[in-house]
Structure 1
Amino acid sequence: MQKKNTRTNFLNRHRFLLAGFLCLFGVCLLSAQDKKKEPEKKKTRVDLLHAEEAQADKVLHPDIQILIRSVKLRHDSMYMYCDSALIYEKTNSVEAFGNVRMEQGDTLFIYGDYLYYDGMSQLAMLRENVRMINRNTTLTTDSLNYDRLYNLGYYFEGGTLTDEENVLTSEWGEYSPATKISVFNHDVKLVNPKFILTSDTLKYSTATKIATILGPSDIVSDNNHIYSERGFYNTTTEQAELLDRSVLTNEGKKLTGDSIFYDRVLGYGEAFENVQMNDTINKNMLTGNYCFYNEITGSALATQRAVAIDYSQGDSLFMHGDTLRLITYNINTDSMYREMRVYHKVRAYRTDVQAVCDSLVYNSKDSCMTMYTDPILWHGAQQVLGEEIKAYMNDSTIDWVHIINQAFTIEQKDSVHYNQVSGKEMKGFFVAGDMRQVDVNGNVLVIFYPVEERDSSLIGLNYAEGSFLRMLLKDRRMEKGAFIGKANGTMYPMDQIPAEKYKLPTFAWFDYIRPRNKEDIFEWRGKKADQQMQKSDRKPLTSPRNMNIKRNK
């Protein structure tokens, strides 16, 4: 029994010893790893290689050597030159005066009027007229500290870094000859022959000539302005990758996005997510989750919840389609004009007018907006449709519209009664944004409800047929109408209206399609299957004499 206990105690002692040894080994291993993270400090002495005269006072200053004229010192691979110097033997440090020069290899040279060098920490502090030269890069300042352990020079009282492409200035900065990376803080300015970049914080590589934007920054050239708080700008290729809601401005056009790619040489930019391209001159805007703009050709493209917004009239018009494309013709000439193309599933909303169609083109040359494939317009209680609708603008407001083939306008009186007019083609004329006159040509059919003046109650139903009709409107309602030429008509009292006379043969009320607000433009709702328009082969009519009569004022 005693032997068993002795054996057990022996094994336990060895277990504890083994565990302790393993813990000690782990601590040593971690300590060794931590030491590898820090640059190794060399303990070598600062050596005197040459001086024309050397002095020492072993009584008053036993640890100081005074060196005069043509002084040359060395610490490891670093050589130091100056007019005179003091060597402090106890601290292994040097003070150097006049025409100070430090050389490391054949690539790094540092000049100044004064140097204090600590051989223990390998830190050099140079003052007055300091220049650090690393191949094609020169750093100039009046106060520079150079840390040999980290191969890093930094200034803190203003400095300038110059390479083949750029000149950078700031209040504080650092430069690594090994990585060719510099960092600048406070009043940063990068001057390039083609642009100027100002920032609060900037990182710059003298090898790649890429500036990394780390704080609020502006890049200004003759033609445009970039604002960004985070991103990259290649000062050689003039390409930028910008993040965090950066802004690109060019001649009144402002492109904003969560991220932007911009090529200044090729003159185009791409923006991604929550994009806005705002034209402050013409007061319109493109939005979407992707936008492309070429400032040289004047072309633009927006997709992914793309919206064109016109805010020139105070009440903004919002227009959505799968794709919005802007094309500029004869740019930078007196004959310049633009086309806005929107396709497919187009929906538009403004408080006073709404529209849907499959595709749309606006041409600034004739200020005409053409709606294709099942176009429908709503104006208050009125609905207008046809195979094709052309709207002619005057200073961003509708001047007149032309409905081509199967033209049909409907005015809702209540849930049962509708004023209706159909014909081969129709022209509507506007005054101050309100439709005041409508001319209908070809196979005209009319259903009209006259009203009592005193209480606006319906008097009856007036059904008429003819070849040409002119209607006058007031307050967005049909006021009166008259046929020009032959016409047939019948007046039915309200209690004697035949069931088949309530609606014209092609009647369709598309209230379920109508955009309700600016958010509803994203919800496409097509026509019901039994209400699809069959496109005719007829071309627009040649307007007769009556169609050329000027509108009533």
Structure 2
Amino acid sequence: MSEKNQRNKSLSRHRVLVVSILCLFAFCLLAQKPQTGTSAKQDGQKSKVYLLHADLLRKDARVPDAQVVVGNVVFRHDSTYMYCDSAYFYNQMNSFEAFSHVRMEQGDTLFLYGDRLFYDGMSQIAQMRMNVRMENRTTTLLTDSLNYDRVYNLGYFFDGGTLMDEQNVLTSEWGEYSPATKQSVFNYNVKLVNPKFTLTSDTLGYNTATKIANIVGPSDIWSDNNHIYSERGIYNTQTGQADLYDRSVLINEGKQLTGDTLFYDRNLGIGKAFHNMVMTDTVNRNMMTGDYGYYDEKNDYAFATRRAVAIDYSQGDSLFLHADTLMMQTFYQNTDSMYREMKAFHKVRFYRQDVQGVADSLVFSTVDTCLTMYKDPVLWQKNQQLLGEQINIYMNDSTIDWAHVINQALSVEQIDSTLYNQVSGKEMKAYFKDKQMRKVEVIGSVRVVYYPMDSDSTLIGMNVSETSNLDLYLKDQKLERMVMKPKSTGTLYPMTQIPADKKKLANFVWFDYLRPINKEDIFNWRSKKAEDQLKKNVRGPVELPNQHLFNKKEE
């Protein structure tokens, strides 16, 4: 009996131990339950949509799953409150459908209005319809269909909409707006209207805080003064500054600036183009190219450098001119005294099929339609060469009318590889007709080396003459006759008896090695050889009348 009692006591102790272990395990499970619930909520458990107020609550057989609430209806989901005149409340689906005078408030900055709303508390998406208005501080979005995603704080429309802030009004067929980042995106028939300009595009980003438009598709910006085309870039609608890429174009009153990268300041009226710059004047039919260009539209000033080229295409056959720097400027704008200047410096080289030239610097002014070549200028036309200390070329409708060679003037006509007709003097005036030199006037200290020909173009000999003034008449780029004043007979040497030292004038030089041979060669600067440099005119001091009296006073 005692053994039986002992076994019973042992079983009782085991039962107590098992029960204790089970209780402890149950307690652990209970202790873990709140943690499991919190984790589930963090993993996506949705909060509940609450009906806070309604004047009337009833059931309707037509909507068996909904409670019909009428009069001063208020819903709350988290921190968002929604108001309406009436609604269908789907409590089991955590959603509702609201009608008439619908208003949604999120914090104190976002307000959404409309005639009808379907709100899904599971996805937290509000579908507002008819007469929709979203207000976010100073930004207003108008549309008839707007979906607002509370999770991503993003509203988007897909049936046309208008976004307005203090500066701009934007319209498009499709768009989205983020109240948190103030960033918006518009697609299809986008139009941004500003008091100073209008921007049209297919795709556009816009930030209502910074007022910056992000261009990501073909876009046009129109104003009273100019037109910008760009497919990629940013435009600050508040400051008027733009950074544009991918061959954007600025057009202003017949002038067009294009570059791989284009910076533009609308308020200052200044555009800068980098890399593969092209500046075109469609009115005057000329253009400038280079790797850097600058244009001031208010002062009508243009500047180009880095492989800069000026191209004149007004006469069909284009003239290509290169220099280290090119400048164009208009003076006295919008007055009767208005004129334009084009400057090129340094290492000027230009090419056209009928005329070529080189100089250190060049200036063209519309005041007298004169193109002036400075410092060692040389001008070629077919087998003719003109040079001096300075050459003035007077234009008539973009073609050469006449040229004035000043100081150490030299004209050379190449007959063959060894023979040259040569004329030198203090100055020279060459007259052109139909782009050909027809007459040359040589003035002061004239010296001539000339090879006359008979009727079959056979050389008769070589004539060497000196006179004070000389008129040369040319036909088909060949010397037809010459008139000396006063008349000078000179010396005629037979071809077989020409003295070697008489073949060339003392200042003769044939600069064929400097001559641009095509439009690509204008970039290849070649300096004059040391022995071919012009001798500088050294002039002694000019003694004024009674100069000796001043000298005595100084003594």
TM-score in terms of structure 2 length = 0.88
Partner of 2:348: 346
1:52 to 33, 37, 55: 55
Partner of 1:192: 194
Partner of 2:32: none
> 1:110-509 maps to which residues of 2 (within 5 A)?
110-454=112-456, 456-509=457-510
Q: Secondary structure at the match of 2:184?
A: strand
Report the aligned-residue RMSD. 1.6
Q: Assess, with a 3 A threshold, how the Cα gap between structure 1 residues 424 and 81 changes in structure 2: closer, same or farther.
A: same
AA matched with 2:520: E
State the distance in 2 between where 1:508 and 1:97 align: 97
State the distance in 1 between where 2:280 and 2:398 align: 16
State the distance in 2 between where 1:535 and 1:243 align: 50
AA matched with 2:510: W
AA matched with 2:491: T
AA matched with 2:58: Q
Matched, 1:43 2:38: no
Q: Secondary structure at the match of 1:517?
A: coil
Q: Assess, with a 3 A threshold, how the Cα gap between structure 1 residues 399 and 42 changes in structure 2: closer, same or farther.
A: farther
Partner of 2:69: 67
Partner of 1:521: 522
Structure 1 residue 463, shift from structure 2 partner = 1.1
Which segment is superposed worse, 86-95 or 396-405?
86-95
- Kept after mapping to 2: 8 A contact 1:467/1:486: no
Matched, 1:534 2:535: yes
Structure 1 residue 41, shift from structure 2 partner = 4.8
Q: Assess, with a 3 A threshold, how the Cα gap between structure 1 residues 90 and 354 changes in structure 2: closer, same or farther.
A: same
State the distance in 1 between where 2:442 and 2:353 align: 26
Structure 1 residue 486, shift from structure 2 partner = 4.3
Q: Unaligned 5+ residue runs, structure 1?
A: 1-34, 540-553
State the distance in 2 between where 1:511 and 1:199 align: 55
State the distance in 2 between where 1:60 and 1:183 align: 41
Which segment is superposed worse, 395-404 or 479-488?
479-488
AA matched with 1:497: I
AA matched with 2:59: A
Partner of 1:7: none
AA matched with 1:51: A
Which deviations, in whole Å up to 9, do the C-alpha atoms of 1:200-229 show, x marking residues without a partner? 000000001111111000100111111110
Q: Secondary structure at the match of 1:487?
A: coil
Structure 1 residue 475, shift from structure 2 partner = 1.1
- Kept after mapping to 2: 8 A contact 1:41/1:149: no
Structure 1 residue 64, shift from structure 2 partner = 2.1
Q: Secondary structure at the match of 2:496?
A: helix
State the distance in 2 between where 1:412 and 1:531 align: 17
- Kept after mapping to 2: 8 A contact 1:466/1:488: no
State the distance in 2 between where 1:242 and 1:477 align: 55
Q: Secondary structure at the match of 1:508?
A: coil
- Kept after mapping to 2: 8 A contact 1:41/1:121: no
Q: Secondary structure at the match of 1:515?
A: coil
Structure 1 residue 89, shift from structure 2 partner = 2.0
Structure 1 residue 394, shift from structure 2 partner = 1.0
State the distance in 1 between where 2:249 and 2:393 align: 34
Q: Assess, with a 3 A threshold, how the Cα gap between structure 1 residues 438 and 60 changes in structure 2: closer, same or farther.
A: closer
Q: Assess, with a 3 A threshold, how the Cα gap between structure 1 residues 60 and 188 changes in structure 2: closer, same or farther.
A: closer
- Kept after mapping to 2: 8 A contact 1:40/1:149: no
State the distance in 1 between where 2:290 and 2:137 align: 47
Partner of 1:16: none
Q: Secondary structure at the match of 1:442?
A: strand
State the distance in 2 between where 1:203 and 1:124 align: 23
- Kept after mapping to 2: 8 A contact 1:405/1:538: no
Higher Rg of the two aligned structures: 2
Q: Secondary structure at the match of 1:504?
A: coil
Which segment is superposed worse, 180-189 or 236-245?
236-245
Structure 1 residue 487, shift from structure 2 partner = 2.3
Which structure 1 residue ranges, 4+ long, deviate > 4 Å from structure 2?
39-42, 59-63
State the distance in 1 between where 2:45 and 2:476 align: 93
State the distance in 2 between where 1:40 and 1:135 align: 33
Q: Assess, with a 3 A threshold, how the Cα gap between structure 1 residues 538 and 466 changes in structure 2: closer, same or farther.
A: farther
Structure 1 residue 431, shift from structure 2 partner = 1.0
AA matched with 1:109: F
Q: Unaligned 5+ residue runs, structure 2?
A: 1-38, 541-555
State the distance in 2 between where 1:152 and 1:130 align: 15
- Tell me the matched-pair count: 500
Structure 1 residue 61, shift from structure 2 partner = 6.3
AA matched with 1:487: S
Which segment is superposed worse, 48-57 or 92-101?
48-57
Which deviations, in whole Å up to 9, do the C-alpha atoms of 1:145-183 show, x marking residues without a partner? 000000000000100000011100000000000000000
Q: Assess, with a 3 A threshold, how the Cα gap between structure 1 residues 42 and 330 changes in structure 2: closer, same or farther.
A: farther
